[in-house]
Structure 1
Amino acid sequence: MTRINTNVSSLVAQNRLNQNNNDLQTALTRLSTGLRINSGKDDPAGLIASEALRSEIGSFNKAISNTNRANQIITTADSALGQVSSLLSDVRGLVVEAANTGALSDDEVAANQLQVDSSLEAINRIAQTTTFQGRKLLDGGLDFITKSGTNATNIKTLQIDQANLGATGSVDVTVDISEAATKASVDIEGFRATAGAVDGVQATGKIEFSKEATPAVQSTTGTISTGGAGDFTLTAKSGGSYADDAFNGYAVVIDTVANGTNSSIAIDDTGTGTVTITLEEGETLATAATDLAAHADIAFASIGAVNVAGTDADPTAGTFASGAAAINDTAAIDITSTLEDDAFNGTITWVEADGTTTPTAAFDSGTNTLTVTVEDTDVVDLDAVTTAIDDLADFSAVKTGALPDFDANNAAYANPTITNLAGGTDELLAGVQADVVFELSGTNGSEVFNVSAGTTLDQLVSQINLVKDATGIEAAADGTQLELRSTEYGRDSVVDLRVIQEGAGGNFANGARSVGTDVKASINGREATTKGNKISLNTATLDVQLELEADQTDTSTFSITGGGALFQLGADVVSNQQARIGIGSVSSARLGGTAGKLFQLGSGGSASLSNDANAAAEIVTQAIDQVTGLRGRLGAFQATTLESNMVSLKDTVANLQEAESSIRDADFAQESAALTRAQILTQSGTNVLSMANQNPQNVLSLLR
C-alpha cells in the first residue's frame, strides 16, 4: 500500500487493540469483584434471575430471623410458666397437708393459708410482668377474641390454641353434634317392700259436662229510615252464610228500579263488602218484602206501607255491625280419694232417676263403684253434685269451669264424659332382699360394700354416694329400682358391679357392667376428636378444644374475630406462611376449670383451706393441668413448627445461594485464563499498531 492519507492497517490494529483492552477490562472487573455479572450488559437474563434469587434469599433470611424471634418469645413464656407450675405444685402440697385436719391445728392450717396466698400473689405477678420487648405474654393479651353465635351457651369451656384468620381477619366455627355423650349406667331391679306399705298415690277420676254452642248473635245494621212510618231493620240470618260477625263492616246501599222489575238483594264480597238492596218504584215496602224475604242470608223486620217512590223520602242506609260468635260452656268435677293407695280404683256411674231432687253419691266397696244419682227431668245444679261427692268420707270433689247446671232433657247438653277412678298405687318401702357383699368399680377407683338384708334402698343409695368421689359412681332410687351412674361422661367412664357374696333371693345376682359413650361431633365439617363432652380439632388452620354442656345435640356456632400471637414464618406475607397461636392468661382469676377458679383458694374464698379443702384440691389440679397443657402446646409449637421451619428455611437459603452463585459469581479459573489471553492480545495489538503506524514512513522513501 502506497497511500498515506488513510492508514487502514493502523485503523484495523486500533480496533483490535480496543477490543482486547475491553476484554482485559472485563476480566479485571470480574476478578476484582468476584462476580461474572456486574451490569445488565454482562448477562441481562442472568441479571434478572440472580436479582430475583437475591430478593428471595433476603426474604428467607428475615424469615429465619422471625423464627428465631418467635422461638425466643415462646422460650420466655415457657420459662415463666415453669415458675407458675412450680408454685401450683407447692399449693397442691399445702392443700393436701391442710386436709389432714385430724393432725394439724387451726394455726398450722392458717400458716398454710398464708403460703397459699403468697403463691397466688406470685402467680398474678408473673402473669402481669412476663414481657418480651415490652409486650406482656401471659396476661391474656395474646389470647384469641371470640364472638358468640347460635347456641353458644351450650359450650361450657373454649380454648383456641391456633387459628389462621386468613385475609378477612376472622373465621366462623360451627360445631355439629350427631350424638350426645352418655354416662355409664347400671339399673338393679326388685327392691321390694320389706316393712309394709306407706301412703302412696291417690286414685283420681273426673266427670265432665259440656253445653252445645249458644246461637251466635247476628250482624245487624240497626234501623234504616225511610223518612216515614216504614222504617225497617236488616239482620244476617242465623245459619246463613254470614251468621255471627261475618257481615261486620259491610255497607248497605239502597237503590230503585223502574216498575215491572222485582225487588232484589245482592252481596258483593270484594273489598270491605257491600249489600245492595234494589226496590221497585211505586210499590210499598211491605210488597217489596215478599221478594226480599226469599234471600238466604238477610232477614227484614218492621216493614211498613210507605211507598218507595213518590212523595216519600229515599231510605237512608247503614252498615252491618255488632255480630258475635257462638259460646260453648263446659264444666268438670274432679274426684280424688282421700286415702293414698289403690283402695278406690274403680268405676264412676252417672244415674238419672225421677224424684232425686237433691243429687246423691255413694261408694260400694264390694263392687268398687262410685254412683252419682241426679234428677232426670229437672235442671241439676252441678255445685250440688260436687257437694254430694265431697261429703263422702273417703273422697274429695272440686268443680271447675263456668257451666252452672246440667239438664238431661235439653238436647243442647251433652251426656257427661266420665273418667273412672284410677292411678292409685301403694308406695313401697324398697329394700335389700338378702345379705350381699359387692364391689363397685368406677373411673376413680373401687369400693367394697357389705350390706345386710332389710337395708332400705334410700340407705343403700346414701352409702354409695358417700364415696362417689373415690369411685366416680353415684346412685339414685327410682321406685323399687337402684340406678347407678358414672359421675363423668364418655367411653372412659365405667360402672362395674361385681358380686362377691350374696344370700338366696338377693337383688344383685351376677352383677353388671356398663361403659359410657363419647359425644360424636364435627367442626366446620371435619370429624372431631372427642372424649366425653370434650371436642377437639387440630388442623393446619384451626386448633380448638371445647367442652359441651351435658346432653346437648344442638348445633353451636361462634366466630374467632382476632387476637393471638401472629408469627411470620415464611418468605411471603400470606396466611399459609404465618402461624397464629393463642396464649391465655395465667392469673389466679383465669386458672382452673369446671370446679372453680384458683383465686377461690385465697383467704376467705369459698375454696380456702379452712372452708373446703376438697374443692381446693380439685381446683388446683385443674389449674396444674391447664398450665402444663399450655406449656406442652407451646413446646410442641417450638419443636414441630419453629425448629422444623428453621431447618427448612436454612436449607432453602443454602440452595438459593448456590443457584444465585452459579448464575452471578465469576469462575476464577476461567476469568484468569481470559485475563492472560487479553493481556497477550493487548501486547500483540500494541506492537502491531506500532508497525502499522510505521508504514507511511516507508512511502516517504519514494519522495527522496
Structure 2
Amino acid sequence: MTRINTNVQSLLSQRILGQQNKSLNTSLERLSTGLRINRGADDPAGLIASENLRSEKASITAAISNAERADQVVNIAEGGLQEINSLLLEVQSLVTQSSNEAGLSTEEKKANQLQIDSILETVDRIASSTSFQGTKLLNGTYDFTISGQNANIESVQVNAAKTAYGENRDVNVLVTQSAQHAGLFLSLDQANIDLNDTNGSFVFEVAGAEGSRQFTFASDTAITDIAKAINTFSDVTGVSAATSGTGIALKSTEYGSDEFVSVKVIEDSDVNVGKATVGVYNLEAKNEDDAEAAVAQTFAALKGSNPIRDSGLDVGAIVNGITATSKGRVVKVTTDHLDTQFQLSETGAQTLGSIGGVNPAFTIDGGGAKFNLGPNVDIINQATLGISNVTVRNLGSLSTGFLDELGSSKGANLENGNLAKAQDIVDSAINQVSSLRGRLGAFQKNTIGSTIRSLGVALENTSAAESSIRDTDFASETAALTRSQILVQSAQQVLSISKAQPQAVLSLLQ
C-alpha cells in the first residue's frame, strides 16, 4: 500500500535511529567518564551495591589514617620515655658510685646529688612537655581512672579497657587458691640447742630464692638467737625466721611458686636426737602443733642426704570470668576488652572467695588513650592504651618508695641517705618505664601495624569489588561504541531511503 500522509517506513526508521543514537550516547558517556553506572537508571541494583562499597572504602581509608595517627602519637610518647630511661640509667650509675663511701669525698657526693636533683627536674619536665597537638602524653592524661577500690586490692595498673560510650567497667575478682609462702619448721623440742657434747656444734644450711647461708651454733644457743641470726641474712637468702613454741618457723620473704625454703643438715652428731620431736617439719601451718602433724625427717636422717625443701604457691584468681595468670600475690588478666594487673593484700591473697563480696573489687571509670582503628565506630574496632604518669612522684612503688625520695635532704639522697633503698627505687622506676615502653612497642607492632596491613588489604579488595560493578570495561564498551556508530549510520541511510519512497506516487499522477 502506497501512502503520502503517513510514511510508516520513515517512522520506523526514526524510531530505530533514536534507539541507536541513545545507545551511542550511552557508550560515549561511559567511555568519557570511565564509569559503567553514571545514574540509577543505568543499573539500580549495581548503583546500590557500588555506593555501599564506596562508603566502606571511605571508612577504611579513614581507619588507615586513624591508625597512622595513632602510630605517630605512640612514637612521640616513646621518644619521651626513651630519654627518661637514659636519665634513670644515669641515676643508677650515680647511686652505685656514691655507695663507695671510703673512696668518695664529701664534695664528690654533693656533686653527685646535684646531678640527681637536675635529673629529677628533667624527668618532670619531659613528662610535662611531651605532647601531641597540645595534649600531654606522659603526665597521666591518658592514664585510666578507677574508683571503689577494695582494701584487699593494691597497686592497680590498667593497661587497656574497652568500654561503651558513657559506661564504666566493673572488675570482679574471685580468689580460687590462696597464695602461700614456702615454709619449713625446725623443731628442737626446747628453747635452746641440746648437745650431748657441750664442745660440739650444730651446723645446717638454709637456702631460699635469693641464695643460701650456712649457720653454726654451739650447745645451749637459744632458739631466739638462732632466729635472729637467720634474719640477719634474710636479704641474702630470701628466708625469714620466727620462734614458735620450742621451734623455729622458716618461711620465704615473698609469696609464690618461685619461692622456696630448704634446710640441709651439715653436722648433727652432737644433737640429742633421742627426743621424738626433733626434726624438720613442713610449714604453712604456723605453729608447732600443726607442724608436728607433718613430720618430714629427723636431723640424723637429713645429714648427708638431699636437703628438705618446700615451695610456695601463687594465688589463683578469676577476673570477670577469665582465669587470670598470677605470680605470688600479683594477678594479671589480658583479654581484648580488659588488660590489667594488680596485687592482692596478704589477707586478700589468702582468703578464698569474692573480693568485695557483691561489690566489684574496683571500677574503671574511664580514661586511657582511645583509638578507633576500624571502619566502624563501635567497641569492637576500638583500641585503648593506658599511658601512666611518669613524673618522679609516680616512678617507683609503694613497697620501695618513689623516685622523688632521691632528692636533696630526703631519705634516699646520696649524701647521707639510705643508698640501698635508693637503688631499689631506681630499679623499680627503670622496670616501670621499660614495661611501659614495651607495652607501647607491642601496641605499635601488633595492634597498629597489623591493623594498617589488614585494612590495606581490605581497601584493595573493596576497591576491586566496587570497580567490577561500577567502572567501564573499555574493551567491551569500545566494541559497543563501534557497533552503535555503524548502526546509526545504517539507520540514517535507511531513513533517507524511506523518505524517498513517497516520491514514487508522482509517477502514478502522470
Matches within 5 A, 1:354-503: 428=191, 430-431=192-193, 433=195, 434-503=200-269
Q: In proportion to residue count, which structure has more strand?
A: 1
Of 551, 555, 577, 2:355 maps to 555
Shift of 1:439: 2.7
Shift of 1:191: 6.1
Contact 1:59 / 1:572 at 8 angstroms: preserved in 2? yes
| Cα distance in 2 for residues equivalent to 1:608 and 1:496 | 37
> Is 1:188 the equivalent of 2:186?
yes
Q: Deviations over 1:598-646 (max 9, x none)?
A: 1111111112222100111111111111111111111111222111111
Match of 2:136 in 1: 136
Q: TM-score, normalized by length of structure 1? A: 0.64
| Cα distance in 1 for residues equivalent to 2:167 and 2:40 | 42
Contact 2:179 / 2:312 at 8 angstroms: preserved in 1? yes
Match of 1:703 in 2: 509
Q: Give the paired residue count.
A: 466
Contact 1:40 / 1:47 at 8 angstroms: preserved in 2? yes
| Cα distance in 2 for residues equivalent to 1:501 and 1:84 | 53
SS in 1 for 2:468: helix
List alignment gaps of at least 5 residues for structure 2.
273-277, 280-298
| Cα distance in 2 for residues equivalent to 1:563 and 1:652 | 31
| Cα distance in 2 for residues equivalent to 1:114 and 1:452 | 50
Shift of 1:477: 2.0
Matches within 5 A, 1:94-243: 94-149=94-149, 152-190=150-188, 192=190
Q: TM-score, normalized by length of structure 2? A: 0.88
Q: Deviations over 1:86-130 (max 9, x none)?
A: 111111111111122132222222222111111111111111011
Of 323, 334, 340, 1:527 maps to 323
Q: RMSD in angstroms over aligned alpha carbons?
A: 1.7
Of 403, 409, 418, 1:604 maps to 409
Q: Deviations over 1:414-471 (max 9, x none)?
A: xxxxxxxxxxxxxx5x247451333322122222333333433233222222221122
Q: Deviations over 1:556-613 (max 9, x none)?
A: 3211111111100111111111011111100001111121111111111112222100
Match of 2:46 in 1: 46
Match of 1:625 in 2: 431
| Cα distance in 2 for residues equivalent to 1:590 and 1:35 | 60
Match of 1:517 in 2: 313
Query: For the structure 1 residues 601 and 85, does the alpha-carbon distance in structure 2 shift closer, same or farther, using more than 3 Å as the test?
Result: same
| Cα distance in 2 for residues equivalent to 1:453 and 1:640 | 64
List alignment gaps of at least 5 residues for structure 1.
193-427
Of 463, 477, 492, 1:671 maps to 477
SS in 2 for 1:440: strand
Shift of 1:167: 4.1
SS in 2 for 1:586: coil
Q: Residue type of the partner of 1:175? A: V
Q: Deviations over 1:359-408 (max 9, x none)?
A: xxxxxxxxxxxxxxxxxxxxxxxxxxxxxxxxxxxxxxxxxxxxxxxxxx
Contact 2:152 / 2:347 at 8 angstroms: preserved in 1? no
| Cα distance in 2 for residues equivalent to 1:78 and 1:502 | 59
Contact 1:180 / 1:551 at 8 angstroms: preserved in 2? no
| Cα distance in 1 for residues equivalent to 2:508 and 2:105 | 138
Match of 1:586 in 2: 390
Match of 2:294 in 1: none
| Cα distance in 1 for residues equivalent to 2:109 and 2:475 | 84
Match of 1:329 in 2: none
Contact 1:432 / 1:452 at 8 angstroms: preserved in 2? no
Query: Which stretch has the larger CA shift, 590-599 or 475-484?
Result: 475-484
Following TM superposition, the consecutive aligned residue runs of length 4 or more in structure 1 with deviations greater than 6 angstroms are none
Task: Kindly name which structure, 1 or 2, has the bigger radius of gyration based on alpha carbons.
Answer: 1
Contact 1:181 / 1:551 at 8 angstroms: preserved in 2? no
Shift of 1:525: 2.2
Contact 2:230 / 2:241 at 8 angstroms: preserved in 1? yes
Match of 2:369 in 1: 565
